[in-house]
Structures are given as structure tokens and as C-alpha cells.
Amino acid sequence: MRVDFNVPIKDGKIKDDYKIVAGLSTIRFLLRYNCKVIIATHLGRPDGKKNSEFSLEPVARRLGKILDVKVLFADSCVGFSAGTAVGRIKKGEIVFLENLRFEKGEEKNEIKFAKELASLADIYVNDAFAASHRRHASVSAIKKYLPSYAGLLLGEEVKNLSKIINSKQPLISIIGGSKISTKISFLKRIGRKSFKVLIGGALANNFFVARKFEVGKSLVDKKSVKLARSLKQKNIILPIDVVVSKKSDGKGEVEAKSVSKVNKNETILDIGPRTIRLYADFIKKAQTIIWNGPMGMFEKQSFKHGTLSVARLIASRSRGRAFGVVGGGETITALRMTGMEDYVDWVSTGGGATLSFLSGDKMPGLDKIIKI
Ligand code: 3PG
């Protein structure tokens, strides 16, 4: 079973386990039917080399605790250690393989590596929606060598995200984060379908520069400014005011001001209160809402208001008045800070994968196992 348990870990401690919890239904299903379950995932980007910083041992331990079943950790995802671990477990038990990305063959979608991985199992299940936009061996090539199926989470992701593609109008898209390059196809495809696209975060800075506003020392990405200039959609709404600080780490004095009043020595770190009200008016009109990317530096007390207000607004409109979907690692962390994640119709485990799916890009991990 390929899962995406790419969770944030610091000093060996899991900071947020939402991806593990989201993947439990398929694991429980397989255990109930007395399978021996072999779990494989990547963690971070160790670049084909073994690196203890990216070891999955803490994740395997956490899974065992949550499920209260025996989880045997194999310190390599292929070869002797993986084979021995699989040979040792009984039905209804789990082997958790070490990081797939410790092996060069994974990201190269190598046949040899895919075959080795496949040789451990009788059946392949892909429940890693969040990694299914990657053409990597454990989600792509492996399907040639085993009977292959979609996991329950993967199925739910596709079902719920498809509702955005075939959305009820008005559709409001809220996009934050930093680089436009990773969001451009989304802005073009879903942006065009949207009644309004509300922009926030450092992404907005690129639009400000493209429209000749001063952004001071704010984060700007040259390529993204070019892309912002090329986007001619009239439904793109930019912040009308922002929260700035003279220190780029946000430690200095904080001030909310109109976007036309930003000084050269200031850094934009959040959307302002007038923008929150403006965005609230649009969100209240929506029948469908999709949100990806924070509105500002929400990790800091002074700059969390834009992001958390958007999170609360979406949560309060979802499950009834509108169909609300939130996706992306940081975005989910922000939503969880409000404690309102259960009010949202669908919290997608995918970041890049969710945007790729909604943009109509190729999804190698979904090929031949799910109909879209
Ligand atoms: C994610 O966190 O979005 C997925 O785990 C994919 O990770 P990647 O961008 O390193 O491929």
C-alpha cells in the first residue's frame, strides 16, 4: 500500500499527523480482511540518499500507536531487510518500509526498482493521492507488475475534487502562497470558471509589482511577476490593504495600510482588515469555495488574522450553504489552528497534487486505477 505520510517532523517529533489519520480507513479495511499490509511512503526530499533526518521510523511508531497493532519497521524499502520483515509478519499485521526516496530508482520511475518493490506483495493499493501527480516508481511503474487498486482516501479525493471541476456557481477561488509558477495552470483553468479569484500571501506581491505598486522589501519572484502580467482575467481580486512591518521577520512595529501606501523599507506580511471584509462579502456569496495557500505569515501572531479569518469564513459557509474545499500542507495547518476543520466539506491531503488534479494535468498515480 502506497500512502503519503509526508508529515512535518522536527527533532524526530511529528508536528502534524493529519495525513496519517486521513489514511487510516484503507489500512483498517485491509486489516479487517486479514491482509498482511506493507506500507510504503516518501518523506521529504532526501534526493536518492539515505539520511536519518528523513527516516520514517517515528511515523511507523505513531501508526502502531494509533491503530494499536504490531508495526514492524524495515530499515530499507527493498532488498534483504524489507523481504525479511515481510516474511516475519502474520495476517493482520503491518510492515512499514523505510523512505522510498532513499532509493534513486523511485524518482526516476525505474523499472528495476518498481519490480523489486512489487516483488514484496501480491496486490498494490495506491492511497497516496498527494503524491499521485509525480511520475515516480511507487505510484507509476509499479502498476505494471501487480494487480492495482485505488485506496479509499484516493477515491474520496477524486470524488470531492471533481465537484470543484463541475462546481455549482458562484465558485470562489482563494489562492495564496508565494510562487505563481506552481499555480498558473490552476489560475487559468479553475480561475476562468470562478466568479472571483481572491489573491493573498506573497502571491499578491507579484501582482502588485506587475501593476506598478511599491512593495518595499516584500517577497517577490521575478518569473511570477511576468506571469502575473500575462494573466488577463478580469475576475482576479487583489488585496486593497495590507499589514506591513519594517522588519522582514515581522518583529518590528506593525501597521495596516492601503496597498498604494507601502514604503520602500517595509515588508508586506498579511492582508489588511478592509481586504478581509471585501473577501468575506465574496465568500458569503459562494455556492462552491476552493482555498489553497495562506494569506500571510500566519505562523506569527501579528500576521495570522488574514489567514485565520479566511479559514473561519470558509468553515462557517461550508456543509450547507456552500461546498467548501481546503487543500495544501500550510493551509491545512492554518485551518486546524481555528479548530474548525470538521466544518469544511473536504480537506484535501494534496498540495501540488490537488492543484494538478484541478488544473487537468496528467496524474500518473491515478492512471488505470480510477476513472475520472
Ligand atoms: C506533498 O507534501 O505535497 C506530497 O507529499 C508531495 O511531496 P513532493 O512535492 O516532495 O513530491
pLDDT at residue 52 in the model:
95
CA of 4 to the centre of ligand 1 (A): 8
Q: Are residues 137 and 163 in the same domain?
A: no
pTM for the model: 0.92
pLDDT at residue 62 in the model:
97
Q: Is the CB of 47 under 6 A from ligand 1?
A: no
Q: Are residues 297 and 233 in the same domain?
A: yes
Q: Are residues 191 and 336 in the same domain?
A: yes
DSSP 8-state class, residue 252: S
Q: Is the CB of 319 under 6 A from ligand 1?
A: no
The CA distances from residue 89 to 24, 74, 171, 246, in Å, are 19, 11, 49, 58
Q: Are residues 202 and 225 in the same domain?
A: yes
Q: Is the CB of 131 under 6 A from ligand 1?
A: yes
pLDDT at residue 181 in the model:
79
Q: Quote the domain boundaries for residue 107.
A: 9-152
Residue 74 lies in a domain: yes
pLDDT at residue 26 in the model:
98
Question: In terms of Cα–Cα distance, which of 55, 43, 31, 54 is closest to 7?
Answer: 43
The total number of structural domains that make up the chain: 2
Q: Are residues 145 and 164 in the same domain?
A: no
The CA distances from residue 102 to 13, 14, 53, 62, 245, in Å, are 20, 20, 11, 21, 41
How far is 169 from 251, CA to CA, in rounded Å? 41
pLDDT at residue 17 in the model:
92
Q: Are residues 222 and 333 in the same domain?
A: yes
Q: What is the longest distance spanned by two Cα atoms in the chain?
A: 67
Please choose from 4, 19, 101 the residue to mutate so as to test ligand 1's pocket, defined by most ligand atoms within 8 A of CB.
4
pLDDT at residue 340 in the model:
97
3-state secondary structure of 211: coil
DSSP secondary structure string for all residues of 255-324 = EEEEGGG--TT-EEEEE-HHHHHHHHHHHHH-SEEEEES-SS-TTSGGG-HHHHHHHHHHHHHBTTTBEE
Q: Are residues 184 and 122 in the same domain?
A: no
Q: Are strands 241-245 and 254-258 parallel, antiparallel or unpaired?
A: antiparallel
Please choose from 6, 18, 41, 108 the residue to mutate so as to test ligand 1's pocket, defined by most ligand atoms within 8 A of CB.
6
Mean pLDDT in order along the chain per 10 residues (372 residues): 95 92 97 97 97 97 96 98 97 97 98 98 98 98 98 98 93 90 87 95 95 95 91 93 88 93 96 98 97 95 97 97 94 95 96 93 96 84
Return the CATH number at 67.
3.40.50.1260
Element (H, E) at 31: helix 24-32
Q: Are residues 138 and 168 in the same domain?
A: no
Q: Is the CB of 310 under 6 A from ligand 1?
A: no
CA of 98 to the centre of ligand 1 (A): 17
